[in-house]
Amino acid sequence: MLVSALKTLPFMLAASVAAGQPTNNRMVHHPGMLKYPITAFPGVPVRAINRRQMGNSLTNQLKGTFYSIDIEVGTPGQLVSVLFDTGSSELWVNPNCTKASNPSLCQQLGHFDSAKSSTFNDTGIKHVIGYGSGYVNMTYAYEAVKIGSAKLRNQLFGVAFDSKPENYGIFGAGPDLRGWDDPYPTVINTLAQQGFTSSRAYSLDLQSIESQRGSVIFGGIDTGKFSGHLEKRPVIPAEQSPDGATRFRIYLDGITVSTENGTEVTAFDKVDGQPVLLDSGATLSSLPGPIVNELLKGFPSAQARGPLYQVDCPVPGSNGTVNFKFGNAIIKVPLADFILQVDESSCALGVQQNDEMPVLGDTFLRAAYVVYDWDNRNIHLANSADCGSHLVAIGKGPDAVPLLTGDCRETAPTSTFIATSTSSVGYTNSTRLSSRSNTATPVPSNLTSAVTSTTLYTITSCFSNLQ
């Protein structure tokens, strides 16, 4: 998600943990790599991106999916599920659930109790992060943080003592806004410094809307999860960026819509035409007005509803796609991943207008396999697929991310939106989605099942509220 951060942490804090030693605590079969499942939580309130959209009833009521990772904080470890966010850089836990937009979800994601940890090391330094739609006040501490088999020592993180309207803590996996080599010891830095990965790089594979097989691979790539070649794109340097900040932002060269009836609509087509931030913490994508207006021509049913667009739900088996061009790669997003279900008969386009801070969020990322290479300031991307698993380690140096082609065959994407449904519109109730999700879940932890069973598709009819 977008962060307008005011960062005040003194450098001395960072310096004290900068010299981590290599450790033997690695995954045995895959040295330098950690593959870890991402849990998709559908039915969660969508975070507003702009301050001016706060209080908008549609944005507040539209439900989306958020992507979390389970971590263990402290000694002994306490399980906490946090949003995996390529759009921010810090780890923090313990949102104030009283002020959360979904208090019951918030409570079920786990709470870290520092009094029960023998390794908690409080710094007493307080800090406020202002997100587009809220704030988090926290105190910095050093603590043991376990991600799968990797037990990070002395990870700097924030323990929130107040927040609004956050439902979950956040694992910021993006660079510090101040620079790639800023001394703030982010988790991605610590993974490399303490020897769990060879360099600061990871792959994120959210998988399609109905899948629970998404994963993040710290220090590695899974060629069984994409088709075609991984296209390498340079990250736009901070000094050339619209906001002067270091972020995972690359140029998008074009967008087209392939409609179900075979028509191709071009929303824009220009090399290096549009900088976009790749932000897994953003449910929706955001694009400038002129591009959105052209894109809408591919969706004749679209009607503006506040900042969003109501569109017809994709028909079962729809072969329509929204196509994003990056250099020599075209990422084809099936309509089911690009369009959000609102209720049984209404859907919303997964894009809103934002002229200042264009973002490709989950409505794009579900269809992409993306490698985030901090050390070389590159993004590599390909079409997401799922045809087995073959892990390749990311090494060090300029060619750390090898030239790779996915093991999966390129097939015409087809929306599985409601492919298993006998109804003509969308998910008719939460039971089906829940059972579909759970059968495919590699790691259905107790926490996960508890949350999904109570929060899946709390269906609200929100479009009507705006009319």
Ligand X SMILES: *[C@@H]1O[C@H](CO)[C@@H](O)[C@H](O)[C@H]1NC(C)=O
Q: Annotated active-site positions, please?
A: 85, 279
Which residue, 320 or 361, is less far from ligand X as judged by CB? Answer: 320
Interaction residues for ligand X, span 272-301 (CB under 6 A)? 298, 300
| CA terminus-to-terminus distance, the chain | 28
Residues 6+ apart with CB under 8 A from 400: 198, 199, 201, 373, 375, 376, 394
C-beta of 409: minimal distance to ligand X in Å? 16
Strands (E), 206-344: 215-218, 220-222, 226-234, 249-258, 264-278, 285-287, 303-305, 308-311, 321-326, 329-334, 339-341
The 3-state DSSP class for residue 298 equals: helix
Binding mask 144-173 for ligand X (x = CB under 6 A): -----------------xx-----------
Nearer to ligand X, 260 or 407 (CB): 260
| CA nearest neighbour of 291 among 378, 358, 347, 374 | 358
Binding piece for ligand X, criterion CB under 6 A, among 1-9, 96-104, 342-350, 383-391:
96-104
Residue pair 221/406 in contact by the 8 Å Cβ criterion: no
Residue 317 as a binder of ligand X (CB under 6 A): the answer is no
Residue of 388, 416, 448 lying closest to 40 (CA atoms): 448
Choose among 310, 311, 323, 307: nearest CA to 355.
Answer: 307
Greatest Cα pair distance in the chain = 62
Task: Determine, following the binding rule CB under 6 A, whether residue 121 of this chain makes contact with ligand X.
Answer: yes
Which of 263, 303, 345, 461 lies at the binding interface for ligand X (CB under 6 A)?
Answer: 263
Q: Please state the closest distance from residue 258 (CB atom) to ligand X, in A.
A: 3
Cross-strand bridge partners of residue 340: 348
Question: Pick from 7, 30, 99, 153: which binds ligand X (CB under 6 A)?
Answer: 99
Among 372, 370, 361, 367, CA closest to 235: 372
Per-residue interface string for the shown chain with ligand X, residues 15-34, x marking contact by CB under 6 A: -x------------------
Number of residues that bind ligand X (CB under 6 A): 26
Is residue 111 involved in binding ligand X (CB under 6 A)?
A: no
427 touches ligand X by CB under 6 A = no
Instruction: Give Cα separations from 465 to 65, 227, 351, 460, 462 (angstroms).
Output: 22, 42, 20, 10, 5
Distance of closest approach, residue 309 Cβ to ligand X, in angstroms: 14
- Judged by CB under 6 A, does residue 135 bind ligand X? yes
Residues between 445 and 464 with contacts to ligand X, criterion CB under 6 A: 446
Which residues in this chain contact ligand X in the complex, by CB under 6 A?
16, 96, 98-99, 121, 128, 135, 137, 142, 161-162, 258-263, 298, 300, 319-320, 412, 429, 431-432, 446
